């Protein structure tokens, strides 16, 4: 176990002015607090926070961060309190330790929800002070180094969490050395055979190529020195997990990889970086498409370097990374390499000016993701936002937008601004009109076409790849649905007040919110629109003396509920039971023989649908639209599928079955209004069923007969525009 004086000496090696008294005080306090606690290895628990502090001294961090590392488990695992930490060590250190403490006694059903809520708390603490992240990553690294002492039942979960969350987060913050070690330790736990195979192959390759690597290092250094460039050239080896990931992604073998070994050239100035490239490209042929300049266009995690591949000595492909010493420090240690995190507290203005791009981006991302999502959604969106390789695109004005690979113009639009994403209707990529679902490439210039009044389709949520876009689309969809229900609820409540001979007033309703257990008037109206609250209860909340004229009851029979005050004219829209189509035949091509043919029993099919036939021996053929969920039951019976299509003229007059569900206000005349609207379109209503959703809203299932898909779509559009209709959709049985 590290001694007290050893910890102080470690810090004083890089910080001669370290607060020795503060460090000693933290050592003694944590040792006493953890007392006789043991780790899974049997070692005193206190060895763990000391090792975490030791890792951070290698990153040359400030006294407060080292002290927070020593104390990081005290609030969570000992009787120590935040108030006591503040009193002894100050509020700054207390805040760091609090940020590293998991939430206790979470009343959550699933382990995933608990993990997500703790992760949200951690990220919010990181957004306030990045040193929380540095301690957390060092904590995770030491836990992974000692994972073999943990019960086997827990190892896989910890390794998966490290690989899914903490290693990518370290990479996003530019801490590549730490990321590589976290990934390789997880790799050995999760895929021990694959890890052993890669490491054995690497050892063999190292032995074979040792002389060649030394030769390339020597020739590079001599060539650059001859041109007056002071440079240090070193061979580097790709990390085992990185090799495995590339083999999986590219579906190639170990022998097919050409970049297992590469070379790093470190120089003094940015000008020297470009001089090196000039020398290298003059001396050896460039491999086309392998040049990347991350100095002029840095990565989001502050990584800066020039990458190139040439055909070098011995006709070998040689990958080169060229960077300055400062760039090399940041490439390995990321945000920990910034002097800002080594100097303790600074003013807000200084912090804003000097903090790393990676940290600014992380703070902004956390702020955007934290708006109204559940813990599970937050974790999902953060993974999407943080943990993907990137492409770099530009706005027409030259602003750089970094996005995950496979991103679309929709992701780009939301990255520019949420309002632009919500209003997006089209895109231009490099000046050409392109679909919104196009995959963006490095260097694309993207322009988004917007339209006022547009809102994002809910389906976009499953098509985008950034957490910000997915979160914004989900919120916009919820807001749109909520607004729709609130609008319907407002009509229902107004009419309820009129029936009670009262005047509806939003202000009076606002005063009655506590009685209804809702926060806003819109919450009440949306609840009524969704059928979660009875409109009579709203009237009673505003006017306690009022007695609702009816309360929720059992579903009425078809006869009782059905006509809702339906007029004689409305009834004409209903088809007389037993009537057949024009000639009783179904115009379908691709059918042979005299087998009976019928439409799907639920939902039917109409011209314009892509259709398939399902053969049932002894019964005949059933026609389904291709989107019917019922087809999944035949997935393992391909011999029953028939390729069929409609055989109709442009001006056909037949009617075909379709089923829709309409959610509408439950009051006299509603069904008549719906039936009249359908009748005016020339469609027939063949059958009606009702579901008792609530006393204010009913679901009406309508079996229709329509001419084709265009006819059906027009009916759905007109119903959606009706003031008595909340929602309408086609049923695909």
pLDDT in tens, 220-278: 888 899 989 999 888 888 899 989 988 887 788 887 777 788 899 999 999 999 999 99
Domain boundaries of the chain, sorted by first residue: 4-192, 193-335, 476-542, 556-733
Q: What is the pLDDT of residue 520?
A: 86
Nearest to 415 by CA among 425, 404, 401: 401
Q: What is the pLDDT of residue 46?
A: 92
Q: Quick one: pLDDT band at residue 372, thresholds 50, 70, 90?
A: very low
Q: What is the pLDDT of residue 135?
A: 92
Q: Which CATH number, 3.40.50.970, 3.40.50.10420, 1.10.3210.10, 3.40.50.300, labels domain 4-192? A: 1.10.3210.10
255, containing H or E segment? none
Q: What is the pLDDT of residue 533?
A: 80
Q: Are 427 and 435 in contact (CB under 8 A)?
A: yes
Position with higher pLDDT, 373 vs 281: 281
Mean pLDDT (the chain, rounded): 81
pLDDT of 494 higher than 90: no
Least confident range from 237-246, 384-393, 442-451, 481-490: namely 384-393
pLDDT of 386 higher than 70: no
What's the rounded Cα separation, in Å, for the pair 80 and 561? 66
643, containing H or E segment? strand 641-643
Position with higher pLDDT, 81 vs 489: 81
Q: Quick one: pLDDT band at residue 168, thresholds 50, 70, 90?
A: confident
Q: Quick one: pLDDT band at residue 635, thresholds 50, 70, 90?
A: confident
Domain with residues 193-335, CATH architecture = 2-Layer Sandwich (3.30)
Give percent of the chain with pLDDT exceeding 90. Answer: 27
Average pLDDT over residues 344-358: 49
Q: What is the pLDDT of residue 51?
A: 94
Q: What is the pLDDT of residue 355?
A: 54
Has 328 been annotated as catalytic? no
Least confident range from 139-148, 564-573, 682-691: namely 564-573
Has 76 been annotated as catalytic? yes
Q: What is the pLDDT of residue 549?
A: 58
Q: What is the pLDDT of residue 196?
A: 93
pLDDT of 195 higher than 70: yes
CATH topology of domain 556-733: Alpha-Beta Plaits (3.30.70)
Backbone angles phi, psi at 37, to 5 degrees: -60, 145
Position with higher pLDDT, 662 vs 649: 662
In the set 20, 76, 293, 326, the catalytic residue is 76
For residues 156, 158, 161, 165, the Cα torsion angle rounded to the nearest 10 degrees is -140
Position with higher pLDDT, 437 vs 352: 437
In the set 9, 20, 43, 77, the catalytic residue is 77
* Buried/exposed 229-264: b ≥16 CB within 10 Å, e otherwise: bebebebeebbbbbbbebbeeeeeeeeebeebbbbb
Least confident range from 124-128, 204-208, 496-500, 623-627: namely 124-128
Residues with Cβ < 8 Å from 145, sequence gap 6 or more?
185
Position with higher pLDDT, 177 vs 443: 177
For residues 48, 54, 56, 58, the Cα torsion angle rounded to the nearest 10 degrees is -150
Angle between helices 111-128 and 131-145 (to 10 degrees): 130
Average pLDDT over residues 148-170: 88
Q: Are 56 and 134 in contact (CB under 8 A)?
A: yes
Position with higher pLDDT, 510 vs 653: 510
């Amino acid at each position: 176990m590290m001694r007290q004086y050893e910890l102080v000496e470690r810090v004083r090696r890089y910080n001669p002015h370290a607060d020795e008294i503060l460090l000693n005080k933290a050592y003694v306090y944590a040792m006493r607090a953890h007392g006789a606690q043991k780790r899974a290895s049997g070692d005193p628990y206190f060895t763990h926070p000391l090792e975490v502090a030791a890792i951070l001294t290698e990153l040359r961090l400030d006294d407060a961060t080292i002290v927070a590392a020593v104390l990081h488990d005290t609030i969570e695992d000992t009787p120590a309190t935040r108030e006591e930490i503040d009193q002894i060590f100050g509020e700054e250190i207390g805040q760091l330790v609090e940020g590293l403490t998991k939430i206790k006694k979470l009343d959550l059903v699933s382990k995933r929800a608990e993990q997500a809520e703790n992760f949200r708390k951690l990220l919010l603490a990181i957004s306030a002070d990045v040193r929380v992240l540095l301690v957390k990553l060092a904590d995770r690294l030491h836990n992974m180094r000692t994972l073999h002492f943990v019960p086997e039942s827990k190892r896989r979960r910890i390794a998966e969490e490290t690989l899914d969350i903490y290693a990518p987060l370290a990479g996003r913050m530019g801490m590549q050395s730490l990321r590589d070690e976290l990934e390789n330790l997880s790799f050995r736990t999760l895929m021990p055979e694959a890890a052993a195979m890669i490491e054995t192959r690497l050892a063999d390759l190292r032995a074979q190529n040792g002389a060649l690597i030394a030769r390339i290092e020597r020739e590079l250094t001599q060539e650059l020195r001859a041109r007056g460039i002071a440079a240090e050239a070193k061979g580097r080896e790709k990390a085992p997990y990185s090799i495995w990931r590339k083999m999986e992604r590219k579906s190639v073998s170990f022998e097919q990889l050409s970049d297992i070994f590469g070379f790093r050239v470190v120089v003094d100035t940015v000008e020297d970086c470009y001089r090196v490239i000039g020398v290298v490209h003059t001396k050896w042929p460039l491999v086309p498409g392998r040049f990347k300049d991350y100095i002029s266009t840095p990565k989001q995690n502050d990584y800066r370097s020039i990458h190139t591949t040439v055909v070098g000595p011995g006709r070998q492909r040689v990958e080169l990374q060229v960077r300055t010493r400062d760039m090399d420090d940041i490439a390995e240690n990321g945000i920990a390499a910034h002097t800002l995190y080594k100097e303790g507290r600074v003013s807000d203005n200084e912090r804003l000016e000097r903090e790393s791009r990676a940290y600014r981006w992380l703070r902004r991302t956390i702020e955007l993701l934290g708006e109204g999502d559940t813990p599970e959604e937050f974790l999902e969106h953060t993974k999407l936002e943080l943990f993907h390789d990137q492409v770099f695109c530009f706005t027409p004005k030259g602003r750089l937008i970094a996005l995950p690979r496979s991103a679309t113009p929709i992701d780009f639009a939301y990255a520019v601004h949420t309002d632009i994403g919500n209003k997006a209707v089209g895109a231009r990529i490099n000046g050409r009109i392109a679909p919104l679902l196009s995959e963006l490439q490095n260097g694309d210039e993207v322009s988004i076409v917007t339209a006022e009044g547009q809102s994002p389709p809910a389906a976009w949520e499953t098509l985008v790849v950034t957490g910000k876009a997915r979160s914004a689309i989900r919120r916009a969809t919820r807001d749109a649905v909520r607004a729709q229900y609130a609008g319907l609820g407002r009509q229902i409540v107004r009419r309820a007040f009129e029936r009670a001979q009262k005047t509806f007033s939003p202000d009076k309703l606002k005063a009655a919110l506590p009685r209804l257990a809702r926060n806003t008037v819109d919450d009440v109206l949306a609840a009524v629109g969704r059928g979660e609250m009875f409109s009579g209860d709203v009237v009673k909340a505003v006017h306690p003396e009022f007695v609702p004229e009816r309360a929720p009851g059992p579903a009425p029979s078809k006869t009782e509920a059905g006509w809702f005050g339906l007029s004689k004219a409305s009834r004409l829209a209903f088809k007389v039971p037993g009537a057949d189509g024009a000639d009783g035949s179904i115009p379908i091509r691709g059918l042979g023989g005299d087998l009976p043919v019928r439409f799907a029993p639920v939902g039917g099919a109409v011209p314009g649908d892509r259709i398939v036939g399902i053969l049932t021996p002894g019964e005949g053929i059933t026609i389904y639209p291709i989107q019917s969920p019922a087809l999944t039951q035949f997935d393992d019976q391909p011999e029953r599928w028939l390729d069929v299509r409609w055989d109709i003229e442009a001006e056909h007059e037949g009617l075909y079955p379709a089923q829709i569900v309409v959610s509408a206000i439950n009051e006299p005349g509603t069904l008549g209004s719906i039936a009249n609207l359908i009748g005016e379109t020339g469609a027939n209503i063949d059958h009606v069923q009702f579901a008792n959703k609530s006393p204010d809203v009913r679901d009406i299932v309508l079996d229709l007969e329509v001419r084709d898909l265009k006819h059906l779509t027009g009916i759905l559009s007109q119903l959606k525009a009706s003031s008595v209709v909340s929602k309408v959709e086609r049923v695909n049985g």
